Chains A and B, each alone.
Chain A
Amino acid sequence: MMGVIYTETVVHMASPAFEKDVPYQVAIVTLESGERMTARIEGARVAIDDHVVLVETRGGVPFFRKSE
């Protein structure tokens, strides 16, 4: 699944369940269908309009990474 970054942030202060992950990047991805979903970003940081690809879904959460 492919998409484009609509917006993003890097979280530095988190809820207890996510404190082990900080800093981590969350983004809203616009999919090819036009639908949007909130996802985590793996690997390199992304910016608005970057193209991303789905790596996997863990615990109901989609993880995307920047596509080459």
Chain B
Amino acid sequence: MRPVAVIGTGKTRFGAFPDRDLLSLAVEAGDKCLKNGHVSPTQVEAFYLGNFAGPSFVGQNHLAPYVSTALGIHEVPATRIEAACASSGSAFFHAVSGVAAGLYDLVMVVGVEKMTSQPTPRVTEILASAGDCSGEIRAGSTFPSLFAMIARRHMHEFGTRREHLAAVAVKNHANGALNPDAHLRKIVTFDQAMAGKPVADPLTVYDCSLISDGAAAVIVAPADRARDFTDKPVHVLGIAQASDALALDEKADITTFPAVKAASRKAYRMAGVSPSDIQFGELHDCFTIAEIIALEDLGFVPRGEGGPCSAAGYTARGGAKPVNASGGLKSKGHPVGATGVAQICDIVQQIRGEAGERQLARHSLGLAENLGGSGASCVVTILGEL
């Protein structure tokens, strides 16, 4: 297996952009990425598109060649990958796999979602289709309600409190306020977070990530060719994807995500590092409780301690293990299909020392955790300096 590096990144701002369509977002991120990696479209040998629900959100199918052609990338394999909120994490995993296996040298990955053209109840319905539509969704579960049921059980078993959830929201909004590309650059106070409008008890609007438009892109290459393109390549030290049942009622224990544990175990082994070595992370805070459980499943904190550790500042910018310095899905925004690649971009930016006001003190080894649905897909990536 050949070592792989990220040689270029590009992102749009995340937000609600009524005058932008899916294609223009994807092309903006792709063009920025080609420029950043000093790569010409004719050099790209394969193209992967991470997108969750383009056909439902914007009525367009066959999206991978639709985007690659608009970027000037012709004739190469162009493949769309759908894994709910882990769509572009999975697309990245497959791009890295192709380069590691020696099938290709230069592979581009774009993640994109255009969500705000639909009214919120319809968005809720589309997002719910990432759950098991034959059971839990037919009974009226929404995505927030699945994570609300996870939160209730976590509270019951470990004493996790509303205050702990609120601490995650307050931290991620404070981080996102420093990010010029974030959807909601707004400080949220603890009192606000404790008094949000209910979505699915015990979760309020302050526990839920945003409905956003946006795109992100990266280019990967063999590590030994990386310096032909950039003087700041970032090494993919470990990467793994894992899966689990869609339906919560088929899981023995809903307070942990087996796919996160499996993917992280493999990624740590591949990278030859342990959770304590990781200096910072971009974790999948689709809901505040998801960040708390990710801390536990990734081995950053003991099981059941995710809530108290969050409230104690362990994951804050100045804490022992900063999490979601970008603002996370909560504040940066969550254009579903773009999120996995956006996490990679944010970590690469930190490792390169190009994160501006968000730059962390220790930034040479970072981890991205991209979760699909209520845990049925997970991609964990460990990135480090070459």
Q: Can you name the residue of chain A whose Cβ is closest to the Cβ of B129?
A: A15
Q: Can you name the residue of chain A whose Cβ is closest to the Cβ of B153?
A: A7
Are B139 and A26 closer than 8 Å at their CB atoms?
yes
Are B150 and A7 closer than 8 Å at their CB atoms?
yes
A61 interface residue per 8 A CB criterion? yes
Q: Can you name the residue of chain A whose Cβ is closest to the Cβ of B146?
A: A9
Supposing A9-B148, A13-B120, A38-B248 touch, asked if A61 and B138 sit within 8 A by C-beta, the answer is yes
A12 to B141, alpha carbons, bound, how many Å? 11
A26 to B249, alpha carbons, bound, how many Å? 12
Supposing A15-B125, A15-B128, A16-B121 touch, asked if A9 and B140 sit within 8 A by C-beta, the answer is no
Are A26 and B140 closer than 8 Å at their CB atoms?
yes
Are A10 and B201 closer than 8 Å at their CB atoms?
yes
B162 interface residue per 8 A CB criterion? no
B62 interface residue per 8 A CB criterion? no
Which residues of chain B in 111-148 are interfacial with respect to chain A, using CB atoms and an 8 Å cutoff?
Answer: 120-122, 124-125, 128, 135-136, 138-142, 144-145, 148
B-side contacts of A17, CB under 8 Å = 125
A24 to B135, alpha carbons, bound, how many Å? 17
A9 to B124, alpha carbons, bound, how many Å? 16
A21 to B140, alpha carbons, bound, how many Å? 9
A37 interface residue per 8 A CB criterion? yes
B200 interface residue per 8 A CB criterion? yes
Q: How many residues from A make CB contacts under 8 Å with B?
A: 30
A60 interface residue per 8 A CB criterion? yes
B-side contacts of A10, CB under 8 Å = 198, 200-201
A19 interface residue per 8 A CB criterion? yes
Are A9 and B201 closer than 8 Å at their CB atoms?
yes
A22 to B156, alpha carbons, bound, how many Å? 25
Q: How many residues from B make CB contacts under 8 Å with A?
A: 33
B199 interface residue per 8 A CB criterion? yes
A54 interface residue per 8 A CB criterion? no
A48 to B152, alpha carbons, bound, how many Å? 8
Supposing A13-B120, A13-B199, A28-B149 touch, asked if A40 and B249 sit within 8 A by C-beta, the answer is no
Are B149 and A8 closer than 8 Å at their CB atoms?
yes
Are A26 and B149 closer than 8 Å at their CB atoms?
yes
Q: Can you name the residue of chain B whose Cβ is closest to the Cβ of A48?
A: B156
B-side contacts of A48, CB under 8 Å = 152-153, 156
Which residues of chain B in 225-270 are interfacial with respect to chain A, using CB atoms and an 8 Å cutoff?
Answer: 247-250, 254
- Distance in Å from the Cβ of B138 to the closest Cβ of chain A? 6
Supposing A15-B121, A26-B145 touch, asked if A7 and B136 sit within 8 A by C-beta, the answer is no
Are A37 and B120 closer than 8 Å at their CB atoms?
no
A-side contacts of B202, CB under 8 Å = 9
A-side contacts of B138, CB under 8 Å = 59-61
Are A18 and B120 closer than 8 Å at their CB atoms?
no
Are A12 and B198 closer than 8 Å at their CB atoms?
yes
Are A16 and B149 closer than 8 Å at their CB atoms?
no
A15 touches which of B124, B153, B198 (Cβ 8 Å): B124
- What are 22 inter-chain pairs, A to B, with CB distance below 8 A? A7-B152, A7-B254, A9-B145, A9-B148, A9-B201, A10-B198, A12-B200, A13-B120, A13-B124, A13-B199, A13-B200, A14-B124, A16-B121, A16-B122, A24-B140, A26-B139, A26-B140, A28-B248, A38-B141, A38-B248, A59-B138, A61-B140
Known contacts A26-B141, A38-B136, A38-B139; 9 further A-B pairs (Cβ under 8 A): A9-B145, A9-B149, A9-B201, A12-B199, A13-B124, A14-B121, A28-B149, A28-B248, A48-B156
Q: Interface residues, chain A, CB within 8 Å of chain B? A: 6-19, 21, 23-24, 26-28, 36-40, 48, 59-62
Per CB-CB distance, the 4 closest pairs between chain A and chain B, nearest first, are A9-B148, A15-B125, A38-B136, A36-B249
